[in-house]
Structure 1
Amino acid sequence: MNISLTGRNLELTDAIKQHMTASIEALKKYNMDIISANVIATTATRKGKEHFNIEFVLNLPQKNTIVINQHDSDLYAAIDIALERAEKALRRLHDKEVDHHKVGLNELKAEIVDVKEVAEEMEDEIIPVELDLYKPREVEDVLSDLKESGKMFEIFVDNEHKTRVLYKRNDGKFGLY
């Protein structure tokens, strides 16, 4: 990474240069392969007060250039705020790259084959079972089952192949539909 530090209307002391360089070095943790980083510090006097402007220009390969401008009355505060904004921009780009993983055509074909194999395996395991509900039952058998189980009702098919419901009434007796 090429680092360029420039001061306009401002002399960059060793401490300022060291702070700027350390700030730029902190951006390496995002692994975005920064080609070059230019830091331009300018000063201007407005209404008798001195204001500092920091501009970070980060060139990234195959992506847009990130430009961050920050104004403040304190030079070090302007550098720190600009650094935070640059980190936020790089974090967004990094997260976008990591989260939006492109899946290749071969990987999709492999997934489709896996799904088909699982479906074929499941077909082999299906065993048709006749439910007890459709077997003809006597009302007395259902009544004894209902008393033993504590259920409120039982649905069954009687010997005449009619669907019937045997239920417990509120008065403790049993009803039959």
Structure 2
Amino acid sequence: MNLTVTGLNLDVTEALREYISTKLARINRHSDSIISTTVTLCTVEKSKHKVEADVHLAGKDLHVETIEDDMYAAIDVLMDKLDRMVLKYKEKSTDHRATPSGRETVTQQD
């Protein structure tokens, strides 16, 4: 998985990068089809922090954004939202049919 962390109007510290990568490890365990992730950190106002994430899955692109008072709290809320979206996509993409062909198998009894 490729991870890109960028900052708009703020410097991205190594602590923020490490925090984001540890939080993304949980999401990476739920889905093996994550190709790349881009996380953008920015400040909206003096006390508001906005975090956006674009996740490229095999067959789907997800976009999530949050605004919170603290940067770490915004990252936590973002990862929770992203985790729910990835799980929802994974459940939708699984095949729920009983047989691969879609037909029921009929057994003959003597």
- Structure-2-length-normalised TM-score: 0.88
Q: Give every structure 1 segment of 4 or more consecutive aligned residues whose post-TM-superposition deviation is greater than 4 Å.
A: none
Which residue does the alignment assign to 1:72?
68
Structure 1 unaligned segments of length 5 or more: list them: 122-177
Q: d(CA) in 2 for partners of 1:40 and 1:101?
A: 39
CA contact (8 A) 2:31 2:86 kept: no
**Alpha-carbon distance change, 80 to 101 in structure 1, aligned in 2, over 3 angstroms:** farther
Which residue does the alignment assign to 1:98?
94
Structure 2 unaligned segments of length 5 or more: list them: none
Structure 1 residue 22 corresponds to structure 2 residue 22? yes
CA contact (8 A) 1:7 1:42 kept: yes
Report which of the two has the higher share of helix: 1
Q: d(CA) in 2 for partners of 1:10 and 1:102?
A: 52
- Letter paired with 2:2: N
Listed as ranges, the matches of 1:75-86 within 5 Å are 75-86=71-82
- Structure-1-length-normalised TM-score: 0.57
Listed as ranges, the matches of 1:1-177 within 5 Å are 1-45=1-45, 49-63=46-60, 65-98=61-94, 100-101=96-97, 103-105=99-101, 108=103, 111-112=105-106, 114=107, 117-118=108-109, 121=110
User: Larger relative contact order (C-alpha < 8 A, sep ≥ 6)?
Assistant: 2
**Alpha-carbon distance change, 73 to 29 in structure 1, aligned in 2, over 3 angstroms:** same
CA contact (8 A) 2:50 2:74 kept: yes
CA contact (8 A) 2:36 2:57 kept: yes
What secondary structure, in the 3-state scheme, does the structure 2 residue paired with 1:104 have?
A: coil
Q: d(CA) in 2 for partners of 1:4 and 1:23?
A: 14
Shift of 1:101: 4.1
**Alpha-carbon distance change, 102 to 40 in structure 1, aligned in 2, over 3 angstroms:** farther
**Alpha-carbon distance change, 60 to 103 in structure 1, aligned in 2, over 3 angstroms:** same
Identity of aligned residues (%): 24
